Structure 1
């Protein structure tokens, strides 16, 4: 229990890291609330078990397989806010598997069709360096707050674009600066599914040491998402809205593209700073520290039982409920 409380405190401090200087004081109170979230162990969330067809807004359908569970939009937002994550407006839902040691946070950004002409032209070393520089900027704010700084260890998976499925995947490993303990390590692993009206972002939340076992499970879930007719990337027409950034903006901030060659006609874009974009991309880091304690994810599903002054998580009594008949609305 002490370890879990320590992890919750780290989660709260990381939440403030992802805020702008203007928001930092305001979000600090949210972070403090997150550090007390352990008191909510046993509060049931309305999980839906597969197999079930989950409607993702008006954009796509998730054919949730058996052995997986889905937390609908309202419940997902409540859970994320409980951890001190204020940016939940675009959250569609959260998914997990039967092992309960990972989460997949699903968001949708209705920014318009994201052009993929520059896919694969990015300089991965330059992109990684850009992310490190941006992290350094936020660490200056952390120093003022006497809070732990973050450092990027390197690529977990270099940016990879599947042109046939219009899917971008990339991941980085991170940790508290100078701290080599497992509790200080996390990851930011993202998959983007491009469509006609915008894109789904799917952020894998798990411990760094579990990435090899959880990545195939989350990939199977991502494969189960299908855009509706008329919402696919190929359904885009000249009169439709296009995003003000291209695919490189999903790597280092919208409108901020690092490529191996200069585009002939760069996309005009409003440059969004680190605090509004990169901080959101690192949302997973806020939660992932919590999951590094062995079995920490269980408290999202299991109710507490007291033995003396101890809290015992009981996996035999899950709070997840069976899905209602028919499709489940996100």
Structure 2
């Protein structure tokens, strides 16, 4: 069996907007995006009936249906189970999705060097597949910062540096995994390398408004609940998908969120001030 290894990536390439979903006559993608139901401060966004995002001043939220539309407007294939949080003051947004792989034990020591080696091997294989599909490649160059786990918040985060083939632009991917009782929430920051540090700090502030609902918190795990067949290290590699692929079980799937998305967000957020 031929196995295709694929790494989820945030592709920050401004040219991607040229491939965005066609807008009706008289309306720009920015205007269409501004017409989506962005939640206002005081409202609560539900994430897969597992978690909530309490919208505070300066931030907003889209449900999964409007997130699909938003991602299409940015030239992306919507995963169908994603939600959007965004800053109204800075040029970033985050894509959140819940995976019910079970309770993940967090007692594993993370070997960043070994993980990077595996990620680079999969990056090579993933780029081969991209070339076959005529998609620009991204070369993994190293960590922006290595995986680190916060035992209090039960959050695992890391950043990678990649190089885009078509314009030689450096791309920064920042991923956060938030552990819960029955799985984890994947939170991916979409931003630009030049503002990554500032936006990462703002992203963390926004995620303080995220929490699992009662009965789904990590601390509420009970004997007999489903336990994931992998630990923190495999979570960096893709969770259950990485485990199954390593055993020849199934193919992993491309997730490419175009970075023109950050540019689009910066373009249409001015519309909020007019409402």
Question: Which sits farther off after the overlay, 142-151 or 244-253?
Answer: 142-151
The answer for the alignment partner of 1:198 in structure 2 is: 183
Question: What pairs up with 1:180-219 in 2 under 5 angstroms?
Answer: 180=168, 184-219=169-204
The answer for the alignment partner of 1:40 in structure 2 is: 29
Secondary structure of residue in 2 paired with 1:226? strand
1:271 corresponds to 2:245: yes
Please point out which of 100, 109, 120 is paired with 1:110. 100
The answer for the alignment partner of 2:54 in structure 1 is: 63
Q: 1 CA distance for matches of 2:81 and 2:144?
A: 26
5+ long unaligned stretches in structure 2: 1-12
Secondary structure of residue in 2 paired with 1:86? coil
Secondary structure of residue in 2 paired with 1:49? coil
1:134 corresponds to 2:122: yes
Q: 2 CA distance for matches of 1:87 and 1:123?
A: 32
Secondary structure of residue in 1 paired with 2:147? strand
Question: What pairs up with 1:25-36 in 2 under 5 angstroms?
Answer: 34=20, 36=22
Q: 2 CA distance for matches of 1:103 and 1:192?
A: 16
Secondary structure of residue in 2 paired with 1:170? strand
Q: Which has the higher contact order (CA 8 A, sep 6+)?
A: 2
The answer for the alignment partner of 1:151 in structure 2 is: 139
Please point out which of 70, 81, 84 is paired with 1:79. 70
5+ long unaligned stretches in structure 1: 1-6, 13-31, 258-268, 302-314, 322-330
Q: How much is the aligned-residue C-alpha RMSD, in angstroms?
A: 2.8
Cα offset, 1:72, TM superposition: 1.9
Secondary structure of residue in 2 paired with 1:270? helix
Q: 2 CA distance for matches of 1:124 and 1:11?
A: 34
**Contact 1:113 1:241 (C-alpha < 8 Å) held by counterparts:** yes
TM-score (norm 1): 0.68
Cα offset, 1:223, TM superposition: 1.5
1:89 corresponds to 2:80: yes
**Contact 1:186 1:289 (C-alpha < 8 Å) held by counterparts:** no
Q: 2 CA distance for matches of 1:146 and 1:71?
A: 31
Q: 2 CA distance for matches of 1:217 and 1:241?
A: 34
Cα offset, 1:11, TM superposition: 6.2
TM-score (norm 2): 0.81
**Contact 1:96 1:104 (C-alpha < 8 Å) held by counterparts:** yes
The answer for the alignment partner of 1:318 in structure 2 is: 272
Paired residue total = 256
Cα offset, 1:66, TM superposition: 0.7
Q: 1 CA distance for matches of 2:64 and 2:210?
A: 16
Q: 2 CA distance for matches of 1:147 and 1:169?
A: 27
**Contact 2:29 2:73 (C-alpha < 8 Å) held by counterparts:** no
Q: 2 CA distance for matches of 1:107 and 1:320?
A: 30
Q: 1 CA distance for matches of 2:261 and 2:213?
A: 35
Secondary structure of residue in 1 paired with 2:252? coil
Cα offset, 1:45, TM superposition: 1.6
Question: What pairs up with 1:252-267 in 2 under 5 angstroms?
Answer: 252-254=237-239
The answer for the alignment partner of 2:3 in structure 1 is: none
Cα offset, 1:179, TM superposition: 4.3
**Contact 2:176 2:187 (C-alpha < 8 Å) held by counterparts:** yes
Q: Deviations over 1:205-254 (max 9, x none)?
A: 00011111111111011122122222111211121112232222211133
1:297 corresponds to 2:268: no
**Contact 1:131 1:252 (C-alpha < 8 Å) held by counterparts:** yes
1:224 corresponds to 2:213: no
